[in-house]
Amino acid sequence: MCPIRGICTTAGPGTIRATELALSTFPLLLEFTEKRAWCKYFCPVGAVIGALGFKKILGFKIDPEKCIKCKACIRVCPTGAISENSLSTGEISRTECIACGRCYDVCMYDAIHFGFLPQKV
């Protein structure tokens, strides 16, 4: 789903190239400075997933007592849902996590589990 293309095709054939260039310059620059900038800030699918993420009842969590902070999970996470803070608190970002299971697969210390998440009030 590309909203930029939809906007540009409604503008008319003569302005498609200029409009596409103008609209894509800022997100493109952000991609070089921040990982997954398009997905985090502009993608409408990402916005819906993020909004629903607050209400997740199932997901991955880290057991801080078993975690040796090798950071293997951080390296394989495609969305950046796991941070250095996650290793200490055990919380993986609900809005960023897509439950791909890569962190679970790479953890050699059985510190990551899938289950019910504590509900925040």
- Name which CATH class applies to 57-116: alpha beta
Domain ranges of the chain: 3-42, 57-116
Share of the chain above pLDDT 90, in %: 38
The 10s digit of each residue's pLDDT in 66-84 is 999 999 999 999 988 999 9
Asked if 72 and 109 touch (Cβ cutoff 8 Å), the reply is no
Instruction: Pick from 9-13, 49-53, 61-65 the range whose average pLDDT is largest.
Output: 61-65
Residue pair 90/61 in contact by the 8 Å Cβ criterion: yes
98 pLDDT band, cuts 50/70/90, is confident
pTM for this predicted structure: 0.66
> What is the average pLDDT score of the chain?
81
Using an 8 Å Cβ cutoff, are 55 and 113 in contact?
no
